[in-house]
Homo-oligomer: A and B are copies of this chain.
Amino acid sequence: MAGIKDVARQAGVSVGTVSNVINRPEAVLPETRARVLAAIEELGYVRSESARQLRAGRSRIMALLVLDMGNPFFVDVARGAERAARQAGLGVMVCNSGQSPAEEAEYLGMFAEQRVCGVLVTPADATGRNLDSFSRHRIPYVLVDRVASGAGSCAVSVDDVRGGALAVGHLISAGHRSVAYVSGPGDLHQIRDRREGALSALAEAGLPPGALVEIPSDRLDVAAGRDAGARLLGLVPRPTAVFCANDLLALGVLQALYAAGVRVPQDIAIVGYDDIEFAAAAAVPLTSVRQPAVVMGRMAAELLLEEADDEGGTHEHRSVVLQPELVVRASSSTPR
């Protein structure tokens, strides 16, 4: 494959001039420039990004490590991040950790080798161990959908405690006195915060913590939701409402209830979380807590760019907390 030297020879100039044509065209005589461009065209020259990177010390790629790209919520986050990154001329590399700290560690290692200019990450590892060791590499990172622990980085999150309170407060005010919480992997902060919010809503209404019945789940997808739905049906006494840690779970629960002939919302009301696009199109349109996912992705990318571009070491880490919003639909609208 043709390199810059071949182009230089073909055009009868030095390599430096070719480099200038590519990077600072105005510094080259138009005639020379034309000759070089012709040579580039003729040889089909494409500059090698690895060589540039080697010289520059870091690549022009931003990494995004999310829990699950099968969740439309994260797809939206990715969309927001990508838009911001491309505006700055950067590529984005999107990867899934699948909520596995081991996978997360592997990807972080890969990012370090690639010398990415920064990482947006939704941590799968509540201990923070992965990120601790990652920070040795001096590669800036921004936490997404998670508040900053310590002051090692910027973070963009949504107030999950408030989101949980909104969801369960809504159910309580619709007359429900016993609510199931279909949770997810216990080591995810999001899940814990949403529960905490749910409990605070109960407390505020004067209900005991026992009014929240947890249905644990180790994944956050539709299949896990179906499974949780089946367990919900077996509970005695059966709660009259269920709050799900995300919409995928909620859709699964809804399917399980539907299959068992249980009416939603008459027999059991459902509230989900994330307000993914499919929530509105569900069998019974789903009440959900909307998160500004695209905005979150965009802001995270912007914070990262700011930190990465910071030469003088003047960057100060910031934590942005966005507010969720309850969207009421049919799945919870008629109290029993």
Contact = CB atoms under 8 A, between A and B. Distances in A.
A205 B49 CA distance: 57
Given A75-B75, A255-B280, A281-B283, A115 B69 contact: no
A136 B44 contact: yes
A113 B46 contact: yes
B48 A54 contact: yes
A227 to B, nearest CB: 14
Interface in A45-83: 46-51, 53-54, 57, 59, 69-70, 72, 75-76, 78-79, 82
Interface in A151-193: none
A115 to B, nearest CB: 6
Interface string A246-260: 000001101100000
A44 B284 CA distance: 54
Interface residues of A, number: 48
Nearest to A51: B54
Contacts of A281: 222, 251-252, 254-255, 278, 282-283
Contacts of A280: 255
A125 to B, nearest CB: 19
Interface in A277-294: 277-278, 280-285
A112 B54 contact: no
8 contacts: A51-B54, A69-B69, A69-B94, A91-B110, A93-B94, A222-B281, A251-B278, A283-B285
